Amino acid sequence: MHAGSASKQLKIGKGKARYTMCGLAGFMGGGSWSADGSGQGLLERMTAPIAQRGPDDAGYWCEPWQRIAMAHRRLSIVDLSPAGHQPMHSAGRRYVIVFNGEIYNHLLIREVLAEQGRAPAWRGYSDTETLLAGFDAWGIRATLERAVGMFAFAVWDRETAALTLGRDRMGEKPLYYGWQGQGDDAVFLFGSELKALRAHPAFEHDIDRGALSLQLRHNYIPAPYSIYRGIAKLPAGSLATVSPCSREPKITAYWSCVQAAEYGAAHPFSGSAGQAVDALEGLLSVAVKQQMMADVPLGAFLSGGVDSSTVVALMQAQAPRPVKTFSIGFHEAAYNEAQHARAVAAHLGTDHTELYVTPEEALDVIPALPALYDEPFSDSSQIPTHLVSRLARGHVTVSLSGDGGDELFCGYNRYRLTARLWSRIAAKPLWARELAARGVAGIPPHVLDRLAAAANGLLPAFLRFTNPGEKLHKGAAVLGSKSVEELYRGLVSQWDDPGSVVIAGTEPPTMLTGSRPGIPELDDIQRMMVLDMLTYLPDDILVKLDRAAMGVSLETRVPFLAHPVVEFALSVPQELKLRDGESKWLLRQVLYRHVPESLIDRPKMGFAVPLGAWLRGPLRDWAESLLARPRLQDEGFFDPRPIRRKWEEHLSGKHDWQYQLWTVLMFQSWLEQQRSDRIQSRFAYRPPIPDLAACSSSAHAL
């Protein structure tokens, strides 16, 4: 559970790697395999909606006598040889797998298998074949403990008649699953996206109001929940095993961020600051090198901030030619970082492409969001993330990203603000805090913005940030908190009381509430960072990145989330992350070896759009139609009164409720599309004539 344990894994290995990114789907059980077209026809139906995840190839496999069926869509990154076709059998024929992702050190794993005399007669060079060989030799869990990568998979064990689902340590790749139906007709569905599960006729479409309440609070629905009752997300770093005879999925963790944090706290990095910088640069350089392996065009997103600039700098340091980099800009200065990205690209000598996006181009993305994100998701940076993915896909098939740096190295302003705020208010009487909150709330955010702008020159850098009025209002709203955890939960919430908005919406426990892990060895800021690694990072940031990129068939890779880097970061003392008021100090020192500090040192900006102004302007009619009181009443999910009140206050300029309203609008837009899709599907699908023999023989390349 520490950086040292992964030292052997850091080797790259020799040979030719074969990687693919893709989508998977399948089902197990059900009572009418021989009569209703179950088998390949249903697999084709389930994979059609996720074809963008793998447009280059498709494969299907069924064993009707075991009532198991799996399908795969493939996006080829290196080649499209038959040896890499999925679903794939292990050499011993025990396991059959559908795999989405990459095992970056799989050539090293092949070397270890050869050293132990356990390597099969290799049919090709794919990491999927390597994974199966590991399963044959060591078992599933032991193989994953050796692997460095991002992935989601489903593997059928023909010996035990059990299905195992697996997901990578940090949750880069998605995986949904759950039983639908009753009795002998119940079917276990699984897939990369909900749209694959929805395509199966057994899917029940029962919306979970508790999950909807979580979406209003967080902008996203945290694992293990999904918007549908009975359908779950597999947590990061976990395995789930299920069979027709043992229907309750058995969830086990093969890697734990909490345990890694505990180990790091108990065995902290003991070297000097300079040695820590050397160690981090070495680990990141290896991760970047591994993730640059591809025979297709490869590039990187570049915002000009610390995280993406570090990734690009380490790429360019190891690349024989200019790295292709991509950024988008906005004509509104408050939302534009393109000039900073351009300056970093010029210094590093990358082949840089930028696109200035007009409001019309950004707004054109909004109708596609419900299908793209597949369940209600309301982080508004989903819009620019999709735009930069679309830009990159015009030039490359793989793009590296700087996501994860904030969570690992203390980059978010809210960490310091929460700790500072709690240290100042904890001893104050509750009545005094509530009085102060009312005072701040009585000043409109735009007035606070002007006051902060006037005082900016007098403030230290860590107190200068964008949208100060909105952040001060949010801070005032949590002055009544009784603990630092409660205060933090309030700061990361959109609606403070979703249960007052969602009819019959009771929030289930999450990592930020009833099921919060206790990590007493960590201070307040460190606990917030770990909680973000468990929740915000996999369920917001990585969902946003995966859906935005895979929606245009672009593979993304995240070097910061290679687990040797994560484990090292969790062992680094906090004073090397937050030093003299400067966030991400350690990471900045790595970057400053490649890029002048003057190009980087500026207030942190989010990847945002002028959503508030759009809702008062070009999006007003669209929003009004979705938020109309009769519509909300008829649909029965929301109490119209608090929503209408916020909408009217937003339109008047009295308050900026853009983020709260966006959570509701994204659900409403998603709901509208689901109903439209269900109506269309009733007329579009006709069950095929059963041909189970053809289905079971479709694994011709196995």
The predicted-structure confidence for 523-580, as pLDDT tens digits, reads as follows 889 999 999 999 999 999 999 999 999 999 999 999 999 999 999 999 999 999 999 8
Same domain (yes/no): 109, 196: yes
Same domain (yes/no): 205, 71: yes
What's the mean pLDDT when you consider all of the chain?
87
Structure tokens at 163: 């299905």
The answer to the question of residue 700 being in a domain is no
Residue 310's CATH number: 3.40.50.620
pLDDT in tens, 620-646: 999 999 999 999 999 999 999 999 999
Same domain (yes/no): 402, 420: no
In order of 173, 253, 383, 386, 551, the CA distances from 544 in angstroms are 11, 24, 9, 8, 11
pLDDT computed for residue 38 by the predictor: 57
- Comparing C-alpha atoms, which of 375, 378, 401 is closest to residue 388? 401
pLDDT in tens, 124-172: 989 999 999 999 999 999 999 999 999 999 999 999 999 999 999 999 9
Structure tokens at 126: 């794919």
Q: 44 Cβ partners below 8 Å, 6+ apart?
A: 58, 60, 71
Last residue of a domain, one of 485, 502, 527: 527
Same domain (yes/no): 245, 132: yes
The answer to the question of residue 266 being in a domain is no
Last residue of a domain, one of 527, 559, 579: 527
Same domain (yes/no): 276, 365: yes
More confident residue, 518 or 178: 178
What is the pLDDT confidence band of residue 694, given thresholds at 50, 70 and 90? very low
User: Could you give the CA distance from residue 210 to residue 199 in angstroms, rounded to a whole number?
Assistant: 24
Same domain (yes/no): 313, 429: no
pLDDT in tens, 458-499: 555 544 555 666 666 656 666 667 777 788 888 889 999 999
- Comparing C-alpha atoms, which of 681, 651, 663 is closest to residue 626? 663
Same domain (yes/no): 280, 245: no
Cβ contact 56:74 at 8 Å: yes
257: annotated active-site residue:
no
The answer to the question of residue 167 being in a domain is yes
pLDDT computed for residue 18 by the predictor: 46
User: Could you give the CA distance from residue 325 to residue 634 in angstroms, rounded to a whole number?
Assistant: 48
* Domain count for the chain: 4
Q: Is 266 exposed, middle or buried (0-12, 13-18, 19+ CB in 10 A)?
A: exposed
In order of 321, 395, 396, 535, 556, the CA distances from 351 in angstroms are 9, 11, 12, 35, 18
Same domain (yes/no): 424, 466: yes
Residue 110's CATH number: 3.60.20.10
The answer to the question of residue 691 being in a domain is no
Structure tokens at 628: 């109309």
Structure tokens at 215: 């979406």
CB-CB neighbours of 295 under 10 Å:
15
Give the N- to C-terminal CA distance of the chain in Å, as an integer.
35
pLDDT in tens, 301-353: 999 999 999 999 999 999 999 999 999 998 877 778 899 999 999 999 999 99
Same domain (yes/no): 394, 418: no
Q: pTM, whole model, 2 decimals? A: 0.89
Same domain (yes/no): 238, 380: no
The answer to the question of residue 604 being in a domain is no
Give the neighbor-by-neighbor strand order of the sheet with 351-357.
351-357, 324-330, 298-301, 398-400, 555-557
Last residue of a domain, one of 511, 527, 543: 527
The active-site residue out of 22, 62, 410, 695 is 22
The answer to the question of residue 377 being in a domain is yes
Same domain (yes/no): 364, 470: no
What is the pLDDT confidence band of residue 392, given thresholds at 50, 70 and 90? very high
The answer to the question of residue 422 being in a domain is yes
Domain, as residue range, for 378: 271-409+535-599
The answer to the question of residue 696 being in a domain is no
pLDDT computed for residue 184 by the predictor: 84
Same domain (yes/no): 234, 331: no
